[in-house]
Amino acid sequence: MTSYLELESKWKFTGYVFRAESKLKSFKVAIHRLESKPKSFKVSIHRLESKQKSFKAAIHRLESKLKSFKAAIHQLESKPKSFKVSIHRLESKPKSFKVAIHRLESKPKGFMISINPHNGYQTRNYLSGT
């Protein structure tokens, strides 16, 4: 005759076996689901790959904009000499600048002389009807 303890241990063992078998079945069901849906699985993988391409394109755009930004900064840094030269021209020609202002004040109807602040050159604009 089997004791209660032996029955209980056998029942626990069969319970564990039952749980293991049921988990194995659910595992097989999950595997079957994955196998029956390879298209959707492949589609999700494809989505990730296509998003990776658009991500790389966005990174490339940022890098190219950074290059053009650096180029613009470099152009600004390489042109302080020409800027200083134009300032020097204005400072070295105060007499001609004053003369041009005097001409403008004395002959506003006949013609206009203006000084280009970028290069210091005089430009004459003749007005019609004078």
Q: Which of 109, 46, 128, 118 lies closest to 89, judged by CA?
A: 118
DSSP 76: H
Q: What is the pLDDT of residues 35-74, one digit of tens each?
A: 677 676 666 767 777 777 777 777 778 788 878 777 777 7
129 phi, psi to nearest 5 deg? 80, 25
Amino acid making up residue 21: E
Report the alpha-carbon distance of residue 122 to residue 65 in Å, rounded: 39
Q: What is the pLDDT of residues 4-41, one digit of tens each?
A: 666 667 767 777 777 777 777 777 777 777 667 767 66
Q: Which of 96, 127, 91 lies closest to 110, judged by CA?
A: 127
Count CB neighbours of 32 within 10 A. 10
Report the alpha-carbon distance of residue 10 to residue 76 in Å, rounded: 87
Domain ranges of the chain: 4-78, 86-126
